[in-house]
Amino acid sequence: MRMSRLLVRTLREAPADAEVASHQLLVRAGYIRRLASGVYTFLPLGLRVLHKVEQIIREELDAAGCQELLLPALHPIELWEESGRAKLFGTDSLPALVVDGRGGTFVLGPTHEEVVTVTVGAEVDSYRQLPVTVYQIQVKFRDEARPRFGLMRTRELMMADAYSFDVDKEAMQRSYQVVYDAYLRIFDRMGLQVTPVEAQSGAIGGDVNHEFMVPSVAGEDHFVSCPSCGYAANVEAAERQVAAAADERSADHPAPETVHTPDRAGIDDVVAHFDDPGITAGDLLKSLAVVDADGRPTLLLVAGDREARLPAGWRLFDDADFEAHPSLYKGYVGPTGAQDAGLRVVADLGVGRNGRWITGANRTDHHLVGVVAGLHFEVDEWGSFVEVVDGDLCPRCGGAVGLVRSVEAAHTFQLGTKYSDVMTGATAVSEDGVEAPYSMGCYGMGVSRLLAVIAEEHHDDKGLAWPVSVAPYRVHLLALGAARAPEVAGAADGLYERLVAGGVEVLYDDRDLSPGVKFKDAELLGLPLQVVVGAKSLARGVVEWRDRATGEERELALDEVTGALTSP
Amino acid sequence: MRMSRLLVRTLREAPADAEVASHQLLVRAGYIRRLASGVYTFLPLGLRVLHKVEQIIREELDAAGCQELLLPALHPIELWEESGRAKLFGTDSLPALVVDGRGGTFVLGPTHEEVVTVTVGAEVDSYRQLPVTVYQIQVKFRDEARPRFGLMRTRELMMADAYSFDVDKEAMQRSYQVVYDAYLRIFDRMGLQVTPVEAQSGAIGGDVNHEFMVPSVAGEDHFVSCPSCGYAANVEAAERQVAAAADERSADHPAPETVHTPDRAGIDDVVAHFDDPGITAGDLLKSLAVVDADGRPTLLLVAGDREARLPAGWRLFDDADFEAHPSLYKGYVGPTGAQDAGLRVVADLGVGRNGRWITGANRTDHHLVGVVAGLHFEVDEWGSFVEVVDGDLCPRCGGAVGLVRSVEAAHTFQLGTKYSDVMTGATAVSEDGVEAPYSMGCYGMGVSRLLAVIAEEHHDDKGLAWPVSVAPYRVHLLALGAARAPEVAGAADGLYERLVAGGVEVLYDDRDLSPGVKFKDAELLGLPLQVVVGAKSLARGVVEWRDRATGEERELALDEVTGALTSP
């Protein structure tokens, strides 16, 4: 492609809303343009990268035995009512756009579990036709509340989503592993170092699921990583070990002391009240009045220096809940007497570690000091209820874990029968003649988002530096001062023609611009190899040959360039 | 691909709503499935055809110097308000879906003139960057009132739309011709015989435009075709010659005779009233009270045996208009005294051909007989105001034209400055330093619709018969009775592996089904070449080799098949 004809315009300045490098560089280099918040155009260079990424996905999924199809973007809302997910619309967990038309009300597919379940359901009746894994590469729509970071979080996105169908759970797990492995190969080919982490499933559902995370300073997520054993999990799903606690119940314990703490409702306020270097937030017990997933009023206890992590479906007390439990005073809630007040008590494992706590006294402006679990209050259930932090102990090996800032490149789910249980026709007859719902998996990667993820990992302060596998062109051919040096123009034109004829993807900067501008644009655009034809080197019969990523330079005889790029 | 693993299920019966062959066969052969009215899934075989069609379009447009990009499907409605087209939403001429989201109100792009105009407008400032022609292959949405004929008219469709940008009209016409020629090559490669016809532009706008029509019994349109000179035009745009008329004004003419015609308001009623074999509908003058595009009350006169064709922007009188013109009696309107009543008189050229007319008398239950144009009424303007029919005279050569039933495969428009005049930033500075709006062209073909168009042209009563260029696989390899004949399974397996290794696209029917079922499915699926491995022929070292389209059969030595398919 001759750059003089290419629809590309490089910008000196990044747009004001571009906070991360990938966003800044993809816009500055003319790969993408913003049409509206979270809505982007792919200009020719950007679309070439998108197509390369899509092609890698196709090749690896096809090689793994998956079949490509194309499902509609317009989903009759009745299908979402059938699955029960229509009630999530408008919430952050499933921000779908819904449109009314002459044919009824349609959901603009944010994900395709419903549609694929009924589609495959209509085609497959017997175990003989299974396993089947289908995938599609298709535009998706999300009514995103806060689009951010360019292509990272958008309202319109290109996605590769796959769905597996099996006769039972064991077969599903095999199909899941096949796609999981293909995903790892896909990311490897794109030059991405991903870590699959155990995660929570959210609005998609199912049991086991993994997020494929790429460590990145532009990440909005963190995952917990154990350098010793390789354990990795999303912060929402991560577990930890807790050192065994001294059992304070065996000691000859005084009754808790009641302390007057006027206007000291927060953890930090209470610590300040004591004004004692020996008393820190970790000595206080945070008692959260919550309603659990089964609707039971519950006190959730975590150490005062930790962030509580509510399980899915749990919520904090609202005003009505507090009115129904008059013994609880906001800011001064504590576990003593909780069961008598009709509350379950659920505690984080860390609460066992410290035997003496400062807690709310269930009385306005008062706290208790020296409260011991099992002595002054009872715990009905223990579990992991805090966010894991740097230095916590790995649940597998006991080593110290760390938090890694990262972006999500893909997410895979073992759905089981969540959708096939409720959708029409989603059954197959097994080898034993029994008709049963499919066991399904679903798998998604944001194709357009991957451009941003790759750009985050492959750039420097001068611009992008694409891996060859996804670069829009392999070679950036620069002709320097060609307008005043016809021999340069002739040599560069000839080289360009030979490279194109040899099947090399080459972008030819034939513009009438200064060498400085051309070099700067070449660094910004980030094609893997720069070949520079200038008058001086040409006089010696050579060109410059420069690796964009490493900066390595060498000279090569002009007549050796085509051979070097076309030999296998 | 092994058919035992392919997600395909052939059906004996076509769905009840499938009226045309392409719809019936694409569903029966398992290429597409209906999710909702006008909303279809492409199963793996259908998607392969779609991708082949897309690839041909890409290759030809790239070769013609066009650049592919990808514009968003979500358009801020403000852009459509800027162009003035938002007011057409909800009408049949621009049935767009509009959706409200957190980011505002978005149009689901039915076409992309607005978006591409501002997008290219932001990148291109100077004539040096022009001409630019961009295209995209993208899903489009239309709030179609009556989806029909499977993929022919849908609510969600894949489209290839291109847009050209030039400094002036002459340059635009050159760019138009480049895409026009590329379109002809694209259709030729797909095995389609298209006729470009002059057409009206409708909601897109602009002056010159062409529809690319494929003659088809499944067509919803007709075009006018002259077998003598090749003139072709859409029925809405077609012109005709009219033989010169005798000038009845020179004769010694009696005054028109008033005839009592009670309850005879329609053409056929009046003809019946006279009950005279010498008086036919062609002797009556149809006088239509209309409002022209400039809002002027007008009488439009056409011969009683022709269908009037109202120009764009004209409409029939409504009740309020009749009330404002009390001299006009519905059913008895005539041109005498029209100008005195405040009406312009516009007549089809055919009205000059017959000097003596029967017209309404502008008096209830009465007609006039023997009315002559120029004598008893005046015509302010002559033009073409009837639909051309079989046997009319070609406007170019005077030969008799015919009507050809057909489907539209593409539509191209010389837009000029229709959009660039009103959209922000859509200007370039010319070589003379003058800043002027771009001259634009736009070009669209329905990619998913092309599957139906090709299937209409390439099928027989047994099934589809794809051209090699778009077939999902080139070869259908059938193993007959392999379950009971291990030597057949071994030979077919080996041949399959060799063909795949040689890069041949082959669908291998390895299913445990009867030869009858396999043959029937092969005819239905319509891959260009069938290679049949059976026990009897295999004993002689040969396979059957059958051309699906022609039915030609021959035998070929088993060990020659791979060579025959892989040699260039």
| pLDDT tens digit sequence for B165-217 | 999 999 999 999 999 999 999 999 999 999 999 887 666 666 789 999 999 98
Q: Which of B447, B454, B505, B469 is CA-nearest to residue B189?
A: B469
**Residue A183 CB coordination number (10 Å):** 26
Q: Measure B31 CA to nearest chain A CA, in Å.
A: 10
First to last CA, chain B: 22
Q: Which among B68, B71, B99 has CB closest to A99?
A: B99
Distance in angstroms (rounded) separating the CA atoms of residues A176 and A164: 7
Q: Measure B78 CA to nearest chain A CA, in Å.
A: 11
Distance in angstroms (rounded) separating the CA atoms of residues A354 and A367: 17
Q: Measure B143 CA to nearest chain A CA, in Å.
A: 6
Nearest CA in chain B to A46: B69
Nearest CA in chain B to A91: B102
pLDDT per residue as tens digits for the range B259-297: 888 887 788 888 888 888 888 888 899 999 999 988 999
Q: What is the pLDDT of residue B251?
A: 61
Q: Which among A76, A122, A143 has CB closest to B101?
A: A143
Q: Which among A35, A70, A123 has CB closest to B7?
A: A123
Higher local confidence (pLDDT), B72 or B246: B72
> Which amino acid type is present at position A102?
R
pLDDT per residue as tens digits for the range A120-166: 999 999 999 999 999 999 999 999 999 999 999 999 999 999 999 99
Q: What is the pLDDT of residue B250?
A: 61
Residue with tokens 């035992």: B4
pLDDT per residue as tens digits for the range B70-98: 999 999 999 999 999 999 887 778 899 99
Which 3 state secondary structure label does DSSP give B294?
A: coil
**Which residues in chain B have Cβ-Cβ distances shorter than 8 Å to A102?**
95, 143-145
A95 interface with B at CB cutoff 8 Å = yes
Q: What is the pLDDT of residue A384?
A: 86
Mean pLDDT of B371-381: 88
CB B258 within 8 Å of CB B368:
yes
- pLDDT above 80 (res B62): yes
Which token pair is A496? 């360009």
**Which residues in chain B have Cβ-Cβ distances shorter than 8 Å to A69?**
7, 41-44, 46-47
A40 interface with B at CB cutoff 8 Å = yes
CB B58 within 8 Å of CB B68:
yes
Please report, to the nearest 10 degrees, the dihedral formed by the alpha carbons of residues A333, A334, A336, A339 taken in order: 60
Phi, psi torsion values for B292, nearest 5 degrees? -80, 180
Q: Identify from B6, B94, B106, B161 which residue to disrupt to test chain A contact, counting A C-beta atoms within 10 A and taking the largest count.
A: B106
Distance in angstroms (rounded) separating the CA atoms of residues B227 and B402: 8
- Beta bridge partners, A407, equal A214
Higher local confidence (pLDDT), B65 or B251: B65
Q: What is the pLDDT of residue A249?
A: 65
B249 pLDDT band (50/70/90 cuts)? low
Which 3 state secondary structure label does DSSP give B51?
A: helix
Q: Which residues, given as ranges, of chain A have pLDDT below 70?
A: 201-206, 245-252, 353-355
DSSP for B266-293 reads SHHHHHHHH--TT--GGGBEEEEEEE-T
Which token pair is A474? 């392999």
**Which residues in chain A have Cβ-Cβ distances shorter than 8 Å to B44?**
67-69, 134
CB A394 within 8 Å of CB A91:
no
Instruction: Give residues with Cβ within 8 angstroms of A539, minimum separation 6.
Output: none
**Residue A128 CB coordination number (10 Å):** 13
CB A491 within 8 Å of CB A533:
yes
Q: Which of residues 6-25 of B touch A (CB under 8 A)?
A: 6-9
Q: What is the mean pLDDT of chain B?
A: 92
SS3 per-residue string spanning B420-437 = CCCCCCCEEECCCCCEEE
Distance in angstroms (rounded) separating the CA atoms of residues B567 and B565: 6
**Which residues in chain A have Cβ-Cβ distances shorter than 8 Å to B39?**
72, 74, 76, 103
> Which amino acid type is present at position A371?
V
Q: Do A36 and B72 touch (CB under 8 A)?
A: yes
pLDDT per residue as tens digits for the range B315-335: 999 999 998 988 888 888 999
ipTM of the complex: 0.89
Which 3 state secondary structure label does DSSP give A226?
A: coil
Q: Do A103 and B139 touch (CB under 8 A)?
A: no
Q: Measure A42 CA to nearest chain B CA, in Å.
A: 5
B164 interface with A at CB cutoff 8 Å = no
Q: What is the pLDDT of residue A341?
A: 85
User: Which helix (H) or strand (E) covers residue B61, if one does?
Assistant: helix B44-63
Residue with tokens 């807690």: A359
Question: In residues, how long is chain B?
Answer: 568
Distance in angstroms (rounded) separating the CA atoms of residues A107 and A86: 9
A37 interface with B at CB cutoff 8 Å = yes
Nearest CA in chain A to B43: A69
Q: Which among B124, B134, B143 has CB closest to A101?
A: B143
Q: What is the pLDDT of residue A265?
A: 73
- B433 to each of A557, B81, B99, B128, how far by Cα in Å? 43, 30, 42, 11
Distance in angstroms (rounded) separating the CA atoms of residues A537 and A355: 78
Q: What is the pLDDT of residue A340?
A: 87
**Which residues in chain B have Cβ-Cβ distances shorter than 8 Å to A68?**
44, 47
Q: Which among B103, B120, B145 has CB closest to A36?
A: B103
Q: What is the pLDDT of residue A115?
A: 97
Distance in angstroms (rounded) separating the CA atoms of residues B493 and B26: 28
Q: Which of residues 108-147 of B touch A (CB under 8 A)?
A: 108, 115, 119-120, 122-124, 132, 134, 138-139, 141, 143-145, 147
Which 3 state secondary structure label does DSSP give B164?
A: strand
- pLDDT above 60 (res B354): no
Q: What is the pLDDT of residue A467?
A: 98
**Which residues in chain B have Cβ-Cβ distances shorter than 8 Å to A67?**
5-7, 44
B246 pLDDT band (50/70/90 cuts)? low
Q: What is the pLDDT of residue B347?
A: 93
Q: Do A101 and B155 touch (CB under 8 A)?
A: yes
Instruction: Give residues with Cβ within 8 angstroms of A109, minimum separation 6.
Output: A71, A72, A73, A74, A75, A115, A138, A140, A141
Q: Identify from A70, A94, A134, A153 which residue to disrupt to test chain B contact, counting B C-beta atoms within 10 A and taking the largest count.
A: A70
Q: Measure B455 CA to nearest chain A CA, in Å.
A: 19
Q: Do B145 and A102 touch (CB under 8 A)?
A: yes
> Which amino acid type is present at position B173?
Q
Q: What is the pLDDT of residue A161?
A: 98
B97 interface with A at CB cutoff 8 Å = yes
Distance in angstroms (rounded) separating the CA atoms of residues A157 and A142: 8
Percent of chain B with pLDDT strictly greater than 90 = 72
Q: Which of residues 60-89 of A touch B (CB under 8 A)?
A: 65, 67-76
CB B234 within 8 Å of CB B200:
yes
Q: Identify from B7, B33, B511 which residue to disrupt to test chain A contact, counting A C-beta atoms within 10 A and taking the largest count.
A: B7
Q: What is the pLDDT of residue A23?
A: 97
